[in-house]
Structures are given as C-alpha cells and as structure tokens.
Amino acid sequence: MALSRRLPLISDRPLARAGLSSERVLMPNKGPGVFEEEIEKIEDALGITTVEKAVAWAQANSMWPDTFGLACCAIEMMSIVSSRYDISRFGMERFSSSPRQADLLIVSGRVTHKMAAPLRQVYDQMLEPKWVIAMGACASSGGMFNNYTVLQGVDKIVPVDVHVPGCPPRPEALMEGIIRLHEKIKAGLPPAYQIRGVAQ
C-alpha cells in the first residue's frame, strides 16, 4: 500500500514561496522542474534587485569628481586622494579636469562674482545626471566674506546637493558629505537640479 502525502493548499516549493504564480509551480502534486532544482542550489548566492536600484548603485559607486578649487578648502579636497583617506574606495580616484567626463562638481572655497560665470559654464558642460557639493562655509554661504565681491553661497548659481560645513572642513568632513550623497543616490532621490531650479 503506497503512502500518500497530504498536499498543502498552496505549494511549499521555493518558486511558489518567492511569489511566482505559474500553474506548474502552484500545482502541489507536480514534481519539481529542472529550473526549479537549479534555483534551489543557487538561490542563496543570487542577488535580486530592480533595474532602478542597480543603476543607482552603479552611479553612486562610479562617480568622477570635477575639481573647482578656489581657496584654502581646495587643499583639504586634494588630500582625500591620498592613501590616508583613499577616495578610490568609492570609485572616485579619477579627478577630472574636463567637465564632460565628470558627474560631481566639488566647489571648494569662496566664489567671487567674477568666477560665478565660469563656474556656471563648467556646471552646464557636465553631462546629466550631475551632482554638486558645496565644500566649506564660503562656498555654502559666503563665510566671513560678507562683501560686494563674494557670492553669498553657490546655490545662487548652481543647485547644490550637499553642503559640507567648516572653515576649512577637514577631509573627513568631505568624505562624510560624499557618503551622504551616495546614500541619497542609492535611495533614489533625484539630483538637486531636478528638485529645485536656480537663477539663470
């Protein structure tokens, strides 16, 4: 006399548990297919994600910064490529001198009204998607230079994604700003120019 197993109402097979609802998978009395047997072997080593999340992960981990060093903050920015801080851990070791090959603009230092037009030109030449970090008090708000020559914050001419405070900020602070920017990108938040506009 053959023993018959009691069949569940919903199949307990791996693909059915994963949410696949084809007839073959949901039929409890049907034996597993070849594909299903292979899935059981590799499902622990398989990473499943969406295309949007994969693209965001790739964008965050392959960002090429463009340098726009104007004052003392630029010295701190230069030190993040050294072995002590090692920005290459984030895939950012290539500082670009061409805006067409960069997607992150790090504005470090005070921006005078005379430099506002070149800064905007560099930003406009960057390919989308593009991000901006305002490094230091001068780039973020004009700093101690509250006069007629210094722009009171670069967000008046380019949309800024992350402000890094300090005068000048330490390299660790810039690294923290870069990590925060990576978190924004991986979370699916759009760049600042898509959220808010700036004066033309």
Looking at the fold, whether 43 and 121 belong to one and the same domain comes out as no
Render pLDDT for 48-101 as a digit per residue (tens, 0 to 9).
Answer: 778 888 888 888 888 888 878 888 888 888 888 888 888 888 878 778 778 888
Structural domain includes residue 8: no
pLDDT value of residue 185: 87
Looking at the fold, whether 136 and 170 belong to one and the same domain comes out as yes
Structural domain includes residue 130: yes
Render pLDDT for 145-176 as a digit per residue (tens, 0 to 9).
Answer: 888 888 888 888 899 999 998 888 898 898 89
Q: Is the pLDDT of residue 199 over 80?
A: no
pTM over the 0.75 mark? no
Looking at the fold, whether 35 and 83 belong to one and the same domain comes out as no
Render pLDDT for 7-23 as a digit per residue (tens, 0 to 9).
Answer: 444 556 666 666 666 65
Give the CATH number for residue 139. 3.40.50.12280
Structural domain includes residue 2: no
- Residue 60 to residue 62: CA distance in whole angstroms: 6
Instruction: Give the residue from 159, 154, 149 showing the smallest Cα distance to 128.
Output: 159
Q: State the sign of the Cα–Cα–Cα–Cα dihedral 172, 176, 178, 182.
A: positive
Structural domain includes residue 200: no
Residues 150/153/154/159 CA torsion (nearest 10 deg): -160
| Residue 31 lies in domain | 14-47
Looking at the fold, whether 72 and 155 belong to one and the same domain comes out as yes
Looking at the fold, whether 31 and 94 belong to one and the same domain comes out as no
**DSSP-assigned letter for residue 111:** -
Looking at the fold, whether 119 and 169 belong to one and the same domain comes out as yes
Looking at the fold, whether 91 and 135 belong to one and the same domain comes out as yes
Binding-site residues sit at 72-73, 138, 167
More confident: 35 or 75: 75
H or E segment to which residue 137 belongs? helix 137-141
Looking at the fold, whether 65 and 118 belong to one and the same domain comes out as yes
Structural domain includes residue 155: yes
Looking at the fold, whether 19 and 94 belong to one and the same domain comes out as no
Structural domains in the chain (count): 2
Binding-site residues for [4Fe-4S] cluster sit at 72-73, 138, 167
